Amino acid sequence: MIVFGLFTALSSFASDDHILGKKEDHIRLPLPPALIPGIFEQNVFHDDSSRDSGRTFNQRYWVDSEYASSPETAPVIFHICGEGDAEDGYFLHDSAIDWAKALGANLVYLEHRYYGKSIPFEDFSAENMKFLTLNNVIEDLATFQKWISATRGWTGKWVSVGGSYSGTISALYRQKHPELVAGALASSAPMISGVGSPEGTQSDVSSLSYLDPSNNSGDRPWVYQSCTTFGFWMADGPNPGANLFYPSPWLCQQLFGDAPIVNSSAYNQNYDAPFIAKSPNAPSNILFTYGSNDIWTTIGLTQQTNLNPKIEIKTIAGAVHHFDLNAATAADSAAVKAARTEFLRLARIWTKK
C-alpha cells in the first residue's frame, strides 16, 4: 500500500470527500438552467456580545423553484455545501434535483464560509481563521434559512441534505435546530473524531509553503477545521482497506500557532454519542447512509451500536462515498436506488403538514 507524504497528500486531496486522488470530483459543470444565484450578507460571528458582532461577509446561495407548484407553501430541500467551491464537483448537480421534482419542493444550496467565493477575509491568517467554528457554520445555516423564508414568504417545512463533511453538518443542524429543519439526510457522514494515524511531521516542513495564509484555496480551511474542530482529515484511498489520518498537533501548531486543538474525546461525547443514545432528547428524523466500500464508513454511525429508534442508519451494499447523493446514472445499483427511495419516503413524512 502506498503511504502519501504530506505534500503529496494535500496537493492531491479532494476537499469535498477528503479522499486522495479524486480530482475528477472537481470539474466545473454548467449550472442547471433553473438555478438562480444570490448573495446573502452573513454574520462573520454569531455571538452578539462579541466585539466582532456586526461584521459581515457575502455568502453565495442558489435557489431552484422550477418544481414547486406553489413556492410559498412547498417544502424546501436545503443542500448544505461542504468544504469546497460550491460550483465545483457534485454540489450543484446531485440527487436533490430529482428529490425536489418528486416532492414538488424548492431547492436551496448555501456555500460554506471560507470556501469558494464565500470568503470573510482576504487572507487566511490564524487570526482570521478563528471564525471558522462549528457554531458559526451551523448558525450560518439558521440565519440564512430564516432570512430567505421571511423574504420569500416560504412557509413549507425544510429538510437538510449533505454528503461527507456536509453530511455531518446536516445531522448536526437537525440536532441543534429541530425547529427549523424537519429532517435530515447525512450521506457518508464522518461522526467519530480521532481515529487513524497523525499525519504531518517535521520532515514535511518544506512542503507547507503553499498552505501559507495568502493561499485562499480550500486546503487551508479544511486543515484548520480538522485541527481545531473535527480531528478527521483525509484517507490514502477510497476503499475500506485504506488508512485514515488526522493532522498531528505539530502540524496544527506550525500552521495555526496557538489555535486550540480538538479534544477528540469531548467531540465524540458531544457530537457522536448523542445520536445513537437511548434518550428522550436524542436527535430524531435523520437518515444516515454509508457505503460498504467507503473508508469513511469506519468512522460513521452503525446500526449495531444504535440505541436511538428515532434515526435510521443504512449501509448501501457495494457503494462508495455518498453515492446516493450523487446525480443518478444508468449504472447505479439497486442498493443505491433503494437508498434514494428511502430518503424520499422519509422526506414525504417529515414535510407533511
| Backbone CA torsion sign across 31, 171, 100, 154 | negative
Exposure string of 169-201, with b = 16+ CB inside 10 Å and e = fewer, is: bbbbbbbbbeebbbbbbbbbbbbbbbebebbbe
* 189-199 tens-digit pLDDT: 999 999 999 88
Q: How far apart are CA 86 and CA 111, in angstroms?
A: 6
CA distances from residue 151 to 70, 113, 275 in whole angstroms, order as listed: 15, 21, 33
Q: State residue 50's pLDDT score.
A: 60
How many C-beta atoms surround the C-beta of residue 328 within 10 A? 15
Buried b (16+ CB within 10 A) or exposed e, 33-71: eebeeeebebbbbbeeeeeeeeeebebbbbbbbbbbeeb
pLDDT, position 237? 82
Looking at every residue in the chain, the average pLDDT score rounds to 87
- CA torsion sign for 103, 275, 114, 297 is negative
Tell me the residue type at 300: G
User: Which single residue is written with the C-alpha cell 456580545?
Assistant: 49
Residues 247, 232: Cα–Cα separation, whole Å? 8
Q: In this predicted structure, what is the pLDDT of residue 9?
A: 38
Q: What is the pLDDT of residues 5-37, one digit of tens each?
A: 333 334 333 334 443 333 344 556 677 778 999
> What per-residue confidence (pLDDT) applies to 27?
58
pLDDT per residue, tens digit, the chain (353 aa), is 222 333 333 433 333 444 333 334 455 667 777 899 999 999 999 876 666 667 899 999 999 999 998 999 999 999 999 998 998 866 777 889 999 999 999 999 999 999 999 999 988 999 999 999 999 999 999 999 999 999 999 999 999 999 999 999 999 999 999 999 999 999 999 999 999 998 876 655 555 555 677 766 678 899 999 999 999 988 888 888 899 999 888 889 888 999 999 999 999 999 999 999 999 999 999 999 999 999 999 999 999 999 999 999 999 999 999 999 988 889 999 999 999 999 999 999 999 97
Give the whole-angstrom CA distance, residue 85 versus residue 88. Answer: 5
**Over pLDDT 90: what percentage of the chain?**
68
Q: Which domains does the chain have, with CATH numbers?
A: 6-350 (3.40.50.1820)
Spatial separation of the C-alpha atoms in residues 40 and 38, rounded to whole Å: 7
Q: d(Cα 91, Cα 162) in Å, to the nearest integer?
A: 9
State residue 91's pLDDT score.
78
Give the end-to-end CA distance of the chain in Å, rounded to a whole number.
Answer: 53
Q: What is the pTM of this model?
A: 0.91
Would you list the DSSP string of 269-309?
HHHTGGGGS--TTS--SEEEEEETT-GGGGGS--GGG---T
Report the DSSP beta bridge partners of residue 107: 64, 77
C-alpha cell recorded at residue 244: 485514515
Summarised one tens digit per residue, pLDDT across range 61-117 is 999 999 998 999 999 999 999 998 998 866 777 889 999 999 999 999 999 999 999
